[in-house]
Amino acid sequence: MTLEEYAARWLASRTGRLAPNSRRAYESALRNHVVPALGALELADLTTCHVRAWIAQELAARRPPNAIKAFVGALSTVLTDALIDGVVGHNAAHGAGRRLMPGRSATAPKAMTPGELHAFLLATRQLGSHWAADAFLVYSRSGLRLGELLGLEKRHVLVEDQALRIEQTYHGGRLGMGPPKGGKARLVELSPATTRALERRIEALDTPGCVVFPGPDLRKPIHPGTVEWAFDQAAGIAALPEHYTVHALRHTYASLLLVAGAPPQWVQQQLGHAHYAITVDLYGSWLRQRRPDLTAILDRGPERHGIERAERKVIPFKRHG
Average pLDDT, integer, range 254-280? 83
pLDDT tops 70 at residue 314: no
pLDDT of residue 161: 94
Domain assignments of the chain as residue spans, ordered by start: 3-84, 111-321
pLDDT tops 70 at residue 295: no
Q: Return d(Cα 185, Cα 151) in angstroms, integer.
A: 12
Average pLDDT, integer, range 42-50? 91
Spell out the residues 6+ positions from residue 317 whose beta carbon is closer than 8 angstroms to its own.
Answer: none
pLDDT of residue 8: 93
Domain boundaries 3-84, CATH class: mainly alpha
In this structure, are residues 201 and 50 in contact, taking their beta carbons and an 8 Å threshold? no
Confidence tier at 34 by pLDDT (50, 70, 90):
very high
Separation of first and last alpha carbons in the chain = 89
Q: Return d(Cα 169, Cα 222) in angstroms, integer.
A: 13
The SS3 call for residue 163 is: strand
Spell out the residues 6+ positions from residue 133 whose beta carbon is closer than 8 angstroms to its own.
Answer: 121, 124, 125, 127
Q: Return d(Cα 308, Cα 219) in angstroms, integer.
A: 70
Condensed to tens digits (0 to 9), the pLDDT of residues 232-241 reads: 888 888 888 8
In this structure, are residues 180 and 168 in contact, taking their beta carbons and an 8 Å threshold? yes
Report the b/e string of 265-280 with b at 16+ CB within 10 A.
eebbbbbbbeeeeebb
In this structure, are residues 5 and 76 in contact, taking their beta carbons and an 8 Å threshold? no
pLDDT of residue 31: 92
pLDDT of residue 285: 57
pLDDT of residue 21: 66
Q: Return d(Cα 68, Cα 208) in angstroms, integer.
A: 39
How much is the pTM?
Answer: 0.61
Average pLDDT, integer, range 99-110? 62
Higher pLDDT, 246 or 294: 246
User: Topology of domain 111-321, per CATH?
Assistant: hpI Integrase; Chain A (1.10.443)
pLDDT of residue 139: 96
Average pLDDT, integer, range 27-45? 92
* Long-range CB contact pairs, 62-67, < 8 A, 24+: 64/232, 64/242, 65/101, 65/102, 65/242, 66/232, 66/242, 66/243, 66/245, 67/232
| Sequence letter at residue 14 | R
Confidence tier at 47 by pLDDT (50, 70, 90):
very high
